[in-house]
A and B are shown apart, each in its own frame.
Chain A
């Protein structure tokens, strides 16, 4: 897709009086950050509340096997094999949990170790692993207008699912028994959310990086917990912190010549620590 539709954005950002806005890759990266960061921040509220943090970490790491499958199948862009594999993993983990044979962190830990190893073994055949390190740390500055369009569509779809099922997920986080008594099939809502989460993480991976993506889900929500007293405040703070950390991290990474994903995470971590100290003081007072 050509980037003509982005022309108004390009002009508006370029008009800002900063050095970094003079570069097209930075203007595109800024737009990508403004889509990905709040999206991950919003999903993160449910990830934290419903204890899915380890699951989302595993989905990110399982991308190794997703990429490997793409290579074996001869796909030019392994994104679709990554997405399909992450969905398979979602269903598989849900199935293991449902059978109840293993506690879910043990089950997820085993699956993660297996998928990471399998992916690395396949991708490293013939000493060619270096080609895939871009997935490890992400490449936000390499994003194209077409990629941004796909991310935008993804964000709309994901947020719709998120908002429709939010109440069910919230009630299930307090008491699964209560949720079952008042809602139709909260278990199905959780599975659907996990699938949506898996797709979102996988789509964001090439830009953020496998190694740090989970932090972008968890840190804004963890920060928001230090500040919020209600669900609406929790959600608003998580999105706000994600946007702030995303934009600040992008700009810092430009001037410091560092990987964008990891820089954003460090900024988010800084904000988290500030609120932790602040919340400690607040709790002592109240």
Chain B
């Protein structure tokens, strides 16, 4: 991403963001609420108009036209009583046949294969509303990995998930990015976990304030101030 900028009603939300994501690397984006993290994600997904450029280069530095981007959304606030099973979610995402008319053998296999990647095959026939926060995010991760993407983008996947669930999720993510050589962009508030699992960290406040290894970024006085302040407020 080069010179990325977004304005909303004349007010800049993101300014002049330069960011490289590398295959096999987990890049964490941290920042306060309203710092433009979700806007950055939406630019990468191609959902909103922006200034600057987003390029995708493969290993030979050619430009594949449309890389596959897997996306894990923020904790979804859907209707917990809705009769939608995990399999239905895969069917709606992968199949042409409407999910209300049943699920084909091929989609069943794809869903099983996808869930195996996040160790959640046993959740296949569960209703979404009965899953715990951690289970739901593993299902959404499995969905984002079906088909296996070039880039995996996660927008605060762990809000509303307890501590042990978070640790397990980040361990899984860490293993998967090596296994599939994924470029991972993770937006999160979990500084402690990110310090252990991220390869690079970016502190965003409308523009990139500082970036580097997690240790470098977490030593930066501006980051320390922002997050201790946030801790006090919450």
Interface residues of A (CB under 8 A from B): 42, 45, 49, 51, 163-164, 166-168, 170-171, 173-175, 177-178, 180-182, 224-225, 228-235
Q: How many residues of B contact A (CB 8 A)?
A: 34
Residues of B near A49 (CB, < 8 A) are 79, 82, 84
How far, in angstroms, from A232 to B82 measured CA to CA in the complex? Answer: 12
Contact of B93 among A171, A177, A231, A234 (CB under 8 A): A171
Contact B76 A225 (CB under 8 A): no
Residues of B near A232 (CB, < 8 A) are 88, 99-103
How far, in angstroms, from A229 to B87 measured CA to CA in the complex? Answer: 11
**A167-B95, A225-B83 as given contacts; A231 in contact with B69, CB under 8 Å:** no
Residues of A near B69 (CB, < 8 A) are 181
Residues of A near B84 (CB, < 8 A) are 49, 170, 173-174, 230-231, 234
B74 CB-CB contact with A under 8 Å? yes
Residues of A near B102 (CB, < 8 A) are 232
**A173-B79, A229-B85, A230-B88 as given contacts; A178 in contact with B71, CB under 8 Å:** yes
How far, in angstroms, from A167 to B71 measured CA to CA in the complex? Answer: 17
**CB closest chain-A residue, reference B72:** A178
B127 CB-CB contact with A under 8 Å? yes
> A51-B79, A167-B93, A178-B73 given. 7 additional CB < 8 A pairs?
A49-B82, A164-B98, A167-B98, A178-B71, A229-B85, A231-B99, A233-B83
Closest CB in chain A relative to B83 CB, distance in Å: 4
Interface residues of B (CB under 8 A from A): 45, 47, 69, 71, 73-74, 76, 78-79, 81-85, 87-89, 91-93, 95-96, 98-103, 125, 127-128, 140, 143, 155
Contact B78 A170 (CB under 8 A): no
Residues of B near A163 (CB, < 8 A) are 98, 100-101
Residues of B near A174 (CB, < 8 A) are 76, 78, 82, 84, 89, 128
Contact B78 A181 (CB under 8 A): no
How far, in angstroms, from A177 to B41 measured CA to CA in the complex? Answer: 11
Residues of A near B125 (CB, < 8 A) are 229-230
Residues of A near B88 (CB, < 8 A) are 170, 230-232
Contact B100 A231 (CB under 8 A): yes
